Amino acid sequence: MGDENILVLLKTTLFILLAILAVMIILTYIYYNQVASPNIYREISNMTRTSRYVFDSIEWVELIVLVDNNPFKPGLRTAWGLSIYIKTPYDNILFDTGPSPDVLEHNAYMLNVDLTKTHIIVLSHRHGDHTGGLNALDEYAYRIKVYVPPGFSPFYLESLRARGYQVEVVNDTVEISKGVYILKPLYGPPWEQALVIIVKGKGLIILTGCSHPGVDNIVREAVQEFNIKPYMVIGGFHLASASLSRIKSIVEVLVKLDVEKIYPLHCSGDEIREYLEHMYPELYGEGGVGLNLTIHS
């Protein structure tokens, strides 16, 4: 065989080897990206999910209803809306702000709540009866973090930032202070987020703004998310115009979820109050503006 033929054979062999190598590289890429990677990703996700479900808890929490349309203590102003002040061993948190700075400030003063010590504000959803009182804290905005669910106007969020607030939009469950969590937002409409506090030996304390996604759905989601027994749900339940059959079905869900205390505030309506008081007096918690609850481990 001549030198020229040998050179052609070598070139042909080299071309075939390079082609085989290229095919192997392509097949390896397809395998790891289309077959192996999803499995690896699922394993990593499961590991992340497992580690994430180790939740902090606290020894006690104090809840003070600063704004509500239901009277409870004399000398306080009622207004259609909701605001609950939360004290823990680690933080002072304001859940919603009611519709008016004046009402919020007046009731806070009467209840000996120092709004200047607020570190965190959680807005359950974008409606004005839950956000309108925020201006009362503008003077201290530079040291306050505000958590909101999706659905807020970008202009509103930019106005908060311009006033000095640190603003975060929440899309998933997040711990905002030791033992205090924002439950991932659910859609009502609008998007709404609940606050969950874990008290040792008690379970979940769940605060709702208006429960547009359904208070039963919120509590169920919290139980699934934390895998911890619910102790209390308090806030607006959005049942003021609901039928008795709907009220019954929602209460039955809460009972089956083993909720021990139910405090209907704001937009919950008199019907659910009367139903709970008559059918489940041991679960019913009467409340309104000025209600003060301390839950210990």
Taking the mean position of all CA atoms in its chain, how far away is CA 259?
18
Residue 236 has pLDDT above 70, yes or no: yes
In one-letter notation, the amino acid at residue 148 is V
How far is it, in rounded angstroms, from Cα 185 to Cα 182?
Answer: 8
Mean pLDDT over 22-35 rounds to 45
Give the pLDDT confidence score for residue 9 in this predicted structure: 59
Q: How confident is the model at residue 28 (pLDDT cuts 50, 70, 90)?
A: very low
Range of the domain at 42: 1-52
Task: Report long-range pairs for 169-178 (Cβ below 8 Å, ≥24 apart).
Answer: 173/225, 174/147, 175/55, 175/56, 176/93, 176/120, 176/122, 176/145, 176/147, 177/88, 177/90, 177/91, 177/93, 177/119, 177/120, 178/56, 178/58, 178/88, 178/89, 178/90, 178/91
21 and 127 together in one domain: no
21 and 164 together in one domain: no
Residue 22 has pLDDT above 60, yes or no: no
pLDDT tens column, 46-87: 333 333 568 999 999 999 999 999 999 999 999 999 999 999
99 and 37 together in one domain: no
67 and 141 together in one domain: yes
Residue 183 has pLDDT above 70, yes or no: yes
Taking the mean position of all CA atoms in its chain, how far away is CA 121?
12
Residue 118 has pLDDT above 60, yes or no: yes
Q: Specify the number of domains making up the chain.
A: 2
98 and 243 together in one domain: yes
Host H or E run for residue 187: strand 186-187
163 and 180 together in one domain: yes
Mean pLDDT for all residues in the chain: 89
Give the pLDDT confidence score for residue 228 in this predicted structure: 97
| CB-neighbour burial class of residue 28 (10 A; exposed 0-12, middle 13-18, buried 19+) | exposed
Residue 198 has pLDDT above 70, yes or no: yes
Count of CB atoms within 10 A of residue 111's CB? 18
CA Rg, the chain, in Å? Answer: 27
32, 52, 72 — which closes off a domain?
52
Q: How confident is the model at residue 17 (pLDDT cuts 50, 70, 90)?
A: low
Give the pLDDT confidence score for residue 44 in this predicted structure: 29
25 and 170 together in one domain: no
Give the pLDDT confidence score for residue 15 in this predicted structure: 63
Sign of torsion over alpha carbons 152, 117, 91, 103: negative
Residue 34 has pLDDT above 70, yes or no: no
How far is it, in rounded angstroms, from Cα 70 to Cα 269?
Answer: 10
| CB-neighbour burial class of residue 65 (10 A; exposed 0-12, middle 13-18, buried 19+) | buried
Residue 212 has pLDDT above 50, yes or no: yes
Give the pLDDT confidence score for residue 48 in this predicted structure: 32
288 and 179 together in one domain: yes
Give the pLDDT confidence score for residue 40 in this predicted structure: 30
In one-letter notation, the amino acid at residue 49 is R
pLDDT tens column, 93-102: 999 999 999 9
Give the pLDDT confidence score for residue 39 in this predicted structure: 37
Q: How confident is the model at residue 23 (pLDDT cuts 50, 70, 90)?
A: low
Q: CATH number for the domain including 165? A: 3.60.15.10
Give the pLDDT confidence score for residue 216 in this predicted structure: 98
Residue holding tokens 């509103």? 156
pLDDT tens column, 250-296: 999 999 999 999 999 999 999 999 999 999 999 999 999 999 999 99
142 and 242 together in one domain: yes
232 and 268 together in one domain: yes
117 and 260 together in one domain: yes
Rounded percentage of the chain residues whose pLDDT exceeds 90: 82
85 and 137 together in one domain: yes
